[in-house]
């Protein structure tokens, strides 16, 4: 897997990959673990990688159908945590 494969959101190689901060924050708030990686050739962008599971597929479907209920403060906290992770990843690139 290369970091450059983040231009399309979706399921690849047993993973769910996205650049969408909103869905990444939501999935993180729901307890899904992820990696944050820089995107090759795009020095100011990161992508988010989650393991492909039945639970994450269900939550992604519910997200797009607007069927999730998440405590707003938890979602905001996850958003801020992800922004900090992005800054960390981007500041530590070679």
**pLDDT tens digits, 13-26:** 899 999 999 999 99
Assess contact for 29 and 75: CB atoms under 8 A. yes
Assess contact for 7 and 41: CB atoms under 8 A. no
pLDDT attached to residue 2: 46
Question: For residue 89, what are the CA distances in angstroms to 25, 43, 52, 58?
Answer: 16, 10, 23, 29
List the structure tokens of 92. Answer: 């530590």
pLDDT attached to residue 7: 55
Assess contact for 46 and 19: CB atoms under 8 A. yes
pLDDT attached to residue 49: 95
pTM: predicted TM-score of the whole model, two decimal places: 0.86
Q: Is the pLDDT of residue 3 over 60?
A: no
Assess contact for 3 and 41: CB atoms under 8 A. no
pLDDT, tens only, 31-85: 999 999 988 888 788 999 999 999 999 999 999 999 999 999 999 999 999 999 9
**Residue 92 CB neighbours (<10 A):** 8
Q: Is the pLDDT of residue 1 over 50?
A: no
* Residue found under tokens 């708030």: 29
Cα–Cα distance, 72 to 67 (Å, whole number)? 15
Tell which wins on pLDDT, 66 or 3.
66
Number of domains composing the chain: 1
The residue range of the domain holding 62 is 3-91
């Amino acid at each position: 897997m290369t970091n450059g494969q983040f231009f399309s959101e979706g399921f690849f190689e047993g993973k769910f990959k996205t650049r969408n901060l909103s869905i990444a924050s939501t999935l993180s708030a729901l307890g899904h673990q992820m990696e944050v990686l820089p995107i090759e050739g795009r020095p100011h962008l990161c992508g988010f990688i989650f393991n492909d599971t039945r639970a994450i597929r269900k939550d992604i479907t519910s997200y797009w159908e607007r069927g999730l209920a998440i405590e707003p403060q938890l979602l905001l906290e996850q958003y801020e945590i992800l922004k900090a992770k992005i800054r960390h990843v981007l500041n530590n690139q070679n």
